[in-house]
Amino acid sequence: MSATANQRVALIIIDMQQCMATVEAGERNNPQAEANIQRLLATWRQSQQPVVHVRHLSRSPESPFWPGQSGVLFQPAFEPLATEHIVDKNVPDAFTHSGLERWLHARGINKLVIVGVSTSNSVEATVRSAGNLGFDTYVVSDATFTFAKQDYAGTYRTADEVHAMSLANLDGEYAEVVSTEEALAFL
């Protein structure tokens, strides 16, 4: 399922900011996610396929995503190149009020590979919109991660459980869930 000679496949990297790499972010899963995102990013760059970096900017001064703090900066391994597109958002969905849909359509991009954090929040919201907007969307299970949390009934759920449920919510409805290896085969 590799891209044809003229098909462009965008890699969308969500919220790989410094505050997501701190202990304060919480108990997480997929410790190999960053390495897998780096592999995908290197391959996309080598293939000269489009890369989009999504950055969350909070509206709340108490948030680690509040502009002007070190936590809002991209992690050094995911620092965008000058040729790569940056989307700033202040809600979980990278398509809401960001111009991302228009940017993709203007470049004839209909196939999206989505990675980053957190699976149960910004990744899930963005993937749902991408699918609803008609993009051919793939979420990379081992290049995304999330955090443990209590469910609505108050039951503690591990990060692996939260991650698995988010992927189940997306697969077949809004996107296809793939591995890093499967996503690398797109190019």
Separation of alpha carbons 122 and 55, rounded Å: 10
pLDDT digits (tens, 9 = 90+) for 24-47: 999 999 999 999 999 999 999 999
pLDDT digits (tens, 9 = 90+) for 78-103: 999 999 999 999 999 999 999 999 99
Look-up: residue for tokens 């995304």? Answer: 144
Vertex 26, ends 159 and 59: CA angle to 5°?
110
SS3 for the chain, per residue? CCCCCCCCEEEEEECCEHHHHCHHHCCECCCCHHHHHHHHHHHHHHHCCCEEEEEECCCCCCCCCCCCCHHHCECHHHCCCCCCEEEEECCCCCCCCCCHHHHHHHCCCCEEEEEEECHHHHHHHHHHHHHHCCCEEEEEEEEEECECEECCCCCEECHHHHHHHHHHHHECCCEEEECHHHHHCCC
**pLDDT average, residue stretch 119-124:** 98
Separation of alpha carbons 154 and 157, rounded Å: 9
Question: Residue 7: pLDDT band by 50, 70, 90 thresholds?
Answer: confident
